[in-house]
A and B are shown apart, each in its own frame.
Chain A
Amino acid sequence: MKRVYSTSVWLWLALVCACKTKSTPAPVMPDEPAKRAAVSFVHCVEAGSSRCIKGDVGLGGWDAFSLLGWLTGGSPLTILQAFPRELERHTDAKKVQAKLVATVGRYQMVIRGAECEPVSSQLIMPLLDTVGKAAQERLTKLGLWQDAMAEVIEGLHREARENLENGHIIRMRCRSDPYQLYIATTQIDERQAVVGLTTVLPKFLGGEAPDRAVIRGRLESRVLGLANVPAPIPDNYVHSWVPTPVEEF
């Protein structure tokens, strides 16, 4: 009798617990909607859909943030060469969208099968002041700072702030190339929408530096197309490393 009573008590407790679990769902973590948006985006890209990127979600905010990030760590050679052109592209929403579409298109093949999973997230807003300040410091250090540049940095900073409200950067780890994906989201009305994708993020912005194996893997990546095949050298030249006529050597 005692045994039956005991079993009934446990059964009752189990039912109560089950009911309680159902009636009070676990709180949704603040970054959950952003993570879900990032995962759906990756699934959409893997499926080869052409509609993963929506043009009406303020892609310019992430583009502004990316430009600031580029100034903090990009090659000065390329900054000199391409910054004015990139700023001009930035003023055209269609070009900004086309840039993101091209980036996604490049990585589509490798993302499929790379088994990318979200591992962490961070809010973008606290990074804005950091990236703006770092861009100014870098340009000053390189001797590229000028009065007009202050307005450019401020303009990009303002645009990022206005368009990346409650936005997150979701870091995803993948089993193979591209190894890391950083998906940027922003809040549009009540939902999170993906506004950007990158495979590299500076460490001071929460990025993870690639290790040796990842660097080697990425250098051989199909996406980058860095075939290790020397360019053809004329027959009478010494070698591809010494491209000079052999009769002069």
Chain B
Amino acid sequence: MQILALILALSNGPASDAEPASSRTSGFETLTGFSTVLLAHINATLASENLPVGMGVPVEPGVFVTLTRDRAMVFDESIVMLGKQRMVPAPECKSGCSSSFFEAFQRLWLDLAIESQALELQLPGRVLFAADALAPAHVLIDLAYAVAETRMGQPPQMAIVLNAGPAGLRSLPFFLLPPEGLTLRFGDRALALTVTVEAAAFVLRSADPRMSRDIRVANRSELDALLRDVRRQHPGKTSIIIEAGRDATVKDVVGLALHVREEFTTLVLSAGQRVRIQ
């Protein structure tokens, strides 16, 4: 087997005989890291300047799903051509996600499970979404539900990739409301603050009896005033649920999430799922 010499060639120079075998290959990882691969992929498919802008948190390695304006991809493979395939809900998908997405991600998790088992690794537990800022946000959320519902066991950790300018790529972590909605007890004293982002309005609702009806505001400053009031009333509540209206873009949703992030640190996205208090 002549490969050992080639492994050494991939490493940072030749290793001495006394050097442990495990350290001989470490140069490979340092030469090309995950973020380099992710950035190369993003630049080749949608260009990093088309990502939503923001600082967020550092990117951690994960499965990467890309949403451009005309396709959805997993890693470097296109899985669905948007607009060319009819998007019908998958009967098995409790959130009503598209069957094209559902089938593609079932296959993804199967491939990853076979691969991980063969290589004695854990099934990847993190998924990054690199989305065109002007892509419809509801498609991104649909993708996220398809990813989460097809993974056996626990949904993965999820994050949206951000363009942080000179800081490179960063990410915005998020959760999803359970596909069938969420039922909490009255005694939990949950607020379940929810904002629906529409093209020219924001709709606010919560479990607070003082906001028993939806409140519609026309712009960000009116929303800010309302949210300040909510924070005053409920200082310990740091979660916000964001829903995307049909016309809302990824930029609209991410923009709002980042805008309120200092006060509402936990972002939960929803495709129309509801929180019921009983």
Contacts and interface: CB of A to CB of B under 8 A. Distances in A.
A159 interface: yes
A229 B117 contact: no
A218 interface: yes
B178 A75 contact: no
A248 B239 contact: yes
Contacts of B111: 73, 75, 200
Contacts of B41: 76, 142-143
A205 interface: no
Name the interface size band of chain A: 35 or more
A216 interface: yes
Given A88-B24, A219-B152, A249-B191, A77 B63 contact: yes
B3 A155 contact: yes
A127 interface: no
A91 B10 contact: no
A129 B50 CA distance: 38
A176 to B, nearest CB: 16
Interface in A225-239: 225-231, 238-239
Contacts of B32: 80, 143-144, 146
Given A90-B3, A91-B3, A81 B121 contact: yes
Interface in B33-55: 33-34, 36-37, 39-41, 44
B239 A249 contact: yes
A159 B153 contact: no
A215 B75 CA distance: 20
A219 B184 contact: no
A8 to B, nearest CB: 65
28 contacts: A64-B3, A70-B115, A76-B37, A76-B41, A76-B75, A77-B62, A78-B124, A81-B61, A82-B119, A84-B10, A84-B11, A88-B21, A88-B24, A103-B118, A141-B76, A142-B41, A142-B76, A158-B2, A159-B1, A212-B106, A219-B109, A223-B117, A225-B117, A227-B153, A230-B154, A241-B148, A241-B177, A242-B182
Given A77-B75, A77-B124, A246-B184, 13 more contacts: A75-B115, A80-B37, A91-B1, A142-B37, A148-B9, A200-B111, A210-B107, A215-B107, A228-B152, A229-B153, A239-B182, A248-B238, A249-B190
Interface of B: 1-4, 6-7, 9-11, 21-22, 24-26, 28-29, 31-34, 36-37, 39-41, 44, 61-64, 75-76, 103, 106-107, 109-119, 121, 123-124, 148, 152-155, 175-178, 182, 184, 188-192, 236-239, 266, 268
